[in-house]
A and B are shown apart, each in its own frame.
Chain A
Amino acid sequence: MKRHEVGSRQRRANGRVARLRGDALSRILVALGLLGLLYLPAGEAGGEQIRLDAALDTPVMLAGGEGAFQRAFLRVALTGFEVAEGRRTPVNVAIVLDRSGSMQGAKLEEAKKAAMMAVRRLRSEDIVSVVTYDSTVNVLIPATRLSDKEDVYRAIRRIQVGNTTALFAGVSKGAREIRKFLDAQRVNRVILLSDGLANVGPSSPGELAELGKSLAAEGIAVSTIGLGLDYHEQLMTRLAVASDGNHFFAEAAGDLERVYNIELGEVLSVIAQDVDVEISFAPPVRPVRVLGRQADLDGQRASGRLNQLYSRQTKYFLVEVEVPAGRPHQQLEVAGVRVSYSNTITSTREGLSSQVAVSFTDSMAEVEAARTPRVMASVARQIGAERNRYAMRLRDEGRIEESREALLANAAYLEKSAELYGNRWLELDAQRNLEDAENLDEAAWQRQRKQMEYNQFEALRALGYIE
C-alpha cells in the first residue's frame, strides 16, 4: 500500500484533529495550515535520528539587580525522523476486545471488523495476539507470528457477547501475551477496546493508571479506545497516558474501523523507543516545576521518559525555571540536556545532547525580538489544557455557569495566543473550548465530557498530562 506523504499526513491530521462534523471545513483549513508547521527542517544530528530542540521561551532576558529572579520556560522537544517507505519497526501487538453484554449487536460486529482490518495491515514478521474479556478473560489467539492471517480472522469472527467487564484482567492477560515476545526492537503495544464501566477486579482510574505506569516501565504501551457514551473516559485516558499509549473516542460503532486504522498507523510509524531525557540545571538556575508530561524533579535534575516516538511527530517536556537576573551582555548557562533512545529502525541505542543558555540585555526590544514563539505556543497550549481541565471539574460539580465562563475566557486566551505566536494548534484549541462551552447542558454533557477528555489527551499528549 503506497502512501502518498501529504495525503497521509492530512488524513492523520484530519482523523486526529478534526472529527467529521459540521465544522469540518474550518478544521480541514486549520489542518492544512498545520502542514507548514509540521514540515520541520532536518535536525541537528542529521540522517535517521530524532531531532532534539531545547529552547527557552525568552532566551534573552532583561538585566536586573542582585537578588532579582525571573521566570522562564524551558522546552525540550523531540521529533521523530522520516522513514523510507517499506522500512518500519516490527510490531508486537495485543488486541484486547470488550465482549461484555453492552457490546451486543452492531458494536461487537464493528469491533470484530475493525480488529480484522488492523490485522490485515500487519506483516508476517509481526506478532499479534487477541484477547477478549467479559467477566472472564479468553486468550483467543496467544501471541504468535502472523504466518496465517485466516486463522486469526476465523477466531475473531467467532467472538460472542458475554456479561460483565473485567477490564483490568483483560489488560493483564494482553500484557502477558506481549511479554512472550517482548523485545526492545519491536513496538510492544496493547490496544484495548471498551464500551462500558469496568466492574470486575480493580476498576478505578487511579488503579489502572498505576498498572499503565508499571507496564510503561517494561516498554509496553496501552492504547485505549472508548466506544459509545457509556465508557469511563477518565479511566481510559489515564491508562493511556500513564503507559504512554494513545486514546480514542469512537462515538458510534461505525467509527471503529477508522480509529483502529489511525492507531495502527501510529504503531507502524514508531522509530524510537525507551527515550530517556535528562535535564541538568546549572545553579543558580532553579527548576520550579515540570508541566504536563511526567518527569521526576530531583534537586537540580529533571528526568523523564517517553515510551516511543513516532515518525514526524513531536513530543516535549516543559519545565518552569527561576533565573537569577544577570548583568547586561552576561551569558548564563541554564541547563544541559541529554537524551538517549533506542532507534528501532537501525536497532541501535543512540544519544543526543544540547546546551541551553540565557543572555541578558537592557533593551526590551531585544528581549521581544528574541522570544521563541514555538516554545511560547507550547506553554500557551499547556495552560489552555490546564484551564480546560479545571472548567471540566467545575461542570462536574454542577457549576455550569462558572464552567461556561471559564471556557469562554480560555477560548479568548487561546485565540490571542494563536495570533501572537502564529500557531494553528492554538486556534484549534480555542474553537474546541468554544464548542465545549455550548455543550454543557445535561443532555449533551455525557458526550461532551468524552470529547473534552479526548481533546485534553490530544493536547497533553505532546506535553504530558496533569495529575
Chain B
Amino acid sequence: MNRHLVAVFVLIVVVPLVIVGWLGARLAREQVERADERLAEVMRSSLRGFDAEIGGLLDERARSLRAAMDGVPRTSEALRDLTRRLPVAGQLFVVDAASGELLYPSLMDRLPASEEDFLRRTREIWTRHRLLPEVAGEGGAELGEAGPREGWYPWFWGDGLRLIFWWRDGGGRIVGAELDRLRLLSDVVASLPDTDPRAPGQDAGRIRLLDAQGAVLYQWGVYEPAAGDWPLVSHPLGHPLAAWSLEYFAAGSGSGGGWRGVLFGLLPGIGGLAVLVIGLAFYFYRESSREMRDAAQRVSFVNQVSHELKTPLTNIRIYAELLEEELGGKGDAARRHLGVIVAESQRLSRMILNILSFSRRERRTLELRRRIGVVDEAVGALLEQFRPSLETHGIVLGFRPGAGRPVSFDADAVQQIVANLLSNVEKYAASGRRVDVATEQAGEEITVTVADRGPGVAEGERERIFEPFYRPSNALSDGVTGTGIGLAIARDLARLHGGDLELAATESKIPRSGACFRLTLNCPSALNPSANLGDSR
C-alpha cells in the first residue's frame, strides 16, 4: 500500500469528521447557551418566588408583632414581660416621635444584660437619629403624619445583617422591635424546601441563600457545586433583606459540565459518520486496489505475451536477414518480398521492445548498457532500416551526421528512441513529405534532432504527448494505430542516459511548420574510466 494512497485515505476520513465535528460543536454550544438562557429565565422567576415567600414571612412577622403589641401598656415591665413571652421578637423598643428619644429601654432603669447589649449595639441608631430620617420619609420632612407609617430598617452589626421593624402607634410614639436574627433565619430556613436525594422529578440543581458576605446560610437541591462553579442565576432579595441573595447552580454548571451532555449527544452522530466514511474509504480503496491489481495483471499478461512473442520473432527476423544476404543480387521480386518480411519483422521487434521497455519502466528495472561506439553508426544503421518504410509513406529522409567520435553509449537505447520518433513521423507527419535527422557532438553531450514538416503539435499537447498511452486525437490522427507509449519510453531512456528528449519550440508561429524533437545524451568519452558502467533506473 503506497504512501500516497494512505495519505488520501486518511484525508478522506479525517477531513469530513473534523468539519462535522466543528459544526456540530458550534451548534451544540449554541444549543447549550440557549438552553441555559431558558433555564436561567425559569430559575430567575423561581428565585423570585422564594424571595416573595421570604417577604411574606417578614410581613407575617411584622403583623404578629403589631398584633401582640396592641393594647400592651408602654411600660418597661409590660414590655419586658412581652419580650419574654414572644419567641420571635428580639428586643422591643419605644421612641418618642417628636424628640427621637429612646423611651424603652431607658437608661434610667436598671437594665438586664440583654437590654444593655441592645443599647450598646444600637447606640448609633439612636444618637445619630438614623431611624428617624427613614421615619420622616423622603427629603427629611418634619416628623408628622406625612411620613410612612411603618417600615423595615436593615443595618449591620458584627456578624451580620439585623432587622428592625417599626411603626407609629398613634400616641406620638414610634414602636418597634429588633428581630431575633437567628430566629428569623431559622424560620426562613424552615420555610424553604428541603432536599430528598431520592425523590423522582427533583430539580437537579442547587439553590443557595447567601448572606451579605457571600457565606452560605442555607442550601437545597441535589447537585453539589464544585469549588470553581459559577451560579447560573443570582437574585438579591428584596428590601429589607437586600444584602442577602439567592443563587442557582445548574447541574453540571462547572467548566466541563454542560459540555459533557452535549458531547454525549454529538458522539453517536460523529461516530456513525466516522463509521460510514471509513467504510466508504475502505470500499473505494478496495475497488481501486482491485483495479490496480487487474491493471497489474493485464500489464503482466502483456509482458508475458511479449516475452513469448519475442523469441519466435527474433528467429523470423534473423532468418529473413540471412535469407536476404544469401539471395545476394538475384531475383528482384524475391528481394522485394523479403525486404517487406524483414522490415515488418523489424517493426514488430521494435514494438515488442517498446512494450518490454515500458513494462520494465513501470517496474523500474530499465537498464542501460553502455559500449564504446560511434553514435553516427548506430543512428545510420537505424535510418537504413527505416528507409524503405519511409519511402513507402512518401517521406524523404535526410541525415546530417555530426557525432563521429567514439564514445560510451547504449546503442540499442539510442536506436529505440530514434525509431520511436521516426515511427511517429510516419504516423502523424507523413503529410510533410520530409524528415531531417541531424547529430551533433559537443564534448560529452551528443544531440540528435529529428524534424518533420508535418502539422506539428498543438500548444496544449506539448507536454501531454510524453504521457504514456496518450494519443492526440484530431482529424488527422484518427484511425492511427499505435499504443501511445513510444514517447514516454523514449524520454525515459533519454533521461536514463543522462540527457533528455524535448519538443523544440516552434520558431515561427506559422502552423503546420512541423515538429522538431531534440534528443540530448550524456556520453562520456571512450577514455573515461567510468564509461563502461551500466546506468540503471
Interface residues of A (CB under 8 A from B): 131, 135-140, 158, 160, 163, 166, 168-169, 171-173, 175-176, 179, 200-202, 204, 207, 210-211, 214-218, 296-299, 303, 305, 467
Neighbour of B195 across the interface among A137, A158, A217, A299, CB < 8 A: A137
Query: Closest residue of chain A to B225, judged by CB?
Result: A135
In chain B, what residue has the closest Cβ to A215? Answer: B87
> Are the C-beta atoms of B221 and A214 separated by less than 8 Å?
no
Known contacts A136-B195, A138-B195, A201-B189: A298-B217 contact under CB 8 Å? no
Q: Mark B86-112, 1 if CB is under 8 A from A, else 0.
A: 111000000000000000000000101
In the docked arrangement, what's the CA distance between A207 and B189, Å?
Answer: 15
What CA separation (Å) do A210 and B162 show in the bound complex? 14
User: Nearest Cβ distance between residue B420 and chain A, in whole angstroms?
Assistant: 88
> Does chain A have a CB within 8 A of B80?
yes
Give the Cβ gap from A180 to chain B, nearest Cβ, in Å. Answer: 11
Cα distance A139–B187 in the bound complex, in angstroms:
15
Q: Which residues of B contact A467 (CB under 8 A)?
A: 113
Contact of A296 with B112 in the complex, beta carbons under 8 Å: yes
Q: Which of A158, A172, A200 contacts B216 (CB 8 A)?
A: A200
Q: How far is the CB of A211 from chain B (nearest CB, A)?
A: 5
Given known pairs A166-B218, A175-B190, A207-B159, the reply for A214 and B183 (CB within 8 Å) is yes
Asked if A139 contacts B194 (CB within 8 A), the reply is yes
Task: Please measure, in the bound complex, the distance between the C-alpha atom of A250 and the C-alpha atom of B168, giving whole angstroms.
Answer: 52
Number of A-B contacts (CB under 8 A): 94
Q: Can you spell out 7 A-B residue pairs with CB atoms less than 8 angstroms apart?
A: A168-B185, A173-B190, A176-B191, A201-B217, A201-B218, A296-B80, A298-B80
The docked-state distance in angstroms from the alpha carbon of A168 to that of B209 is 13
Contacts of B167 in A (CB 8 A): none
With A210-B180, A298-B80: A171-B112 Cβ-Cβ less than 8 Å:
no
**Least CB distance, A182 to chain B, in whole angstroms:** 11
Within 8 A of A (CB), among B127-167: 159
| Chain A residues closer than 8 Å to B112, beta-carbon distance | 296-298
Contacts of B77 in A (CB 8 A): 298
Chain A residues in 8 Å Cβ range of B185: 168, 172, 201-202
Indicate with 1 or 0, residue by residue over B210-253, a CB within 8 angstroms of chain A CB atoms: 00000011111100100000000000000000000000000000
Q: Is B182 an interface residue (CB 8 A)?
A: yes
- B220 and A136: CB pair below 8 A? yes
B190 x A211 contact (CB < 8 A): no
Quick one: closest A residue to B220, CB to CB?
A: A136
Residues 166-210 (chain B) with a chain A CB within 8 angstroms:
180-183, 185-187, 189-191, 194-198, 206
- Kindly identify which residue among A140, A166, A202 contacts B219, using a CB–CB cutoff of 8 Å: A166
The binding surface of chain A is classed by DSSP as mixed
Closest 3 CB pairs of A and B: A176-B190, A217-B87, A136-B195
Question: Do A200 and B110 form a contact, CB below 8 Å, given A175-B190, A214-B87?
Answer: no
Is the CB of B84 closer than 8 A to any CB of chain A?
yes
A residues within 8 A CB of B88? Answer: 214
- 6 more contacts with CB within 8 A, not counting A201-B217, A210-B180, A214-B182, are A136-B206, A176-B190, A200-B219, A217-B86, A296-B80, A296-B114
A299, B220: Cβ atoms under 8 Å? no
Q: Report the separation of the CA atoms of residues A214 and B61 in the bound assembly, to the nearest whole angstrom.
A: 14
Give A91 Cβ to nearest chain B Cβ, in Å: 21
| A173 x B189 contact (CB < 8 A) | yes
Q: Is there contact, CB below 8 Å, between B216 and A201? A: yes
* B330 at interface, CB cutoff 8 A: no
Residues of the B chain whose Cβ atoms lie less than 8 Å from the Cβ of A140? 196
Are B219 and A207 closer than 8 Å at their CB atoms? Answer: no
Q: How far is the CA of A210 from the CA of B180 in the complex (A)?
A: 8
Q: Collect the chain A residues with CB atoms within 8 Å of residue B224's CB.
A: 135, 163
Q: Determine the chain A residues whose CB is within 8 A of the CB of B159 once the complex forms.
A: 204, 207
A254 to B340, CA, bound (A): 121
Residues of B within 8 A of A211 (CB): 182-183, 186
Q: Which of B77, B114, B180, B194 has the most CB of A within 10 A?
A: B194
Closest to A206 in B: B159
Shortest beta-carbon distance, B191 to chain A, in Å?
8
Complex Cα–Cα for A305 and B180 (A): 19
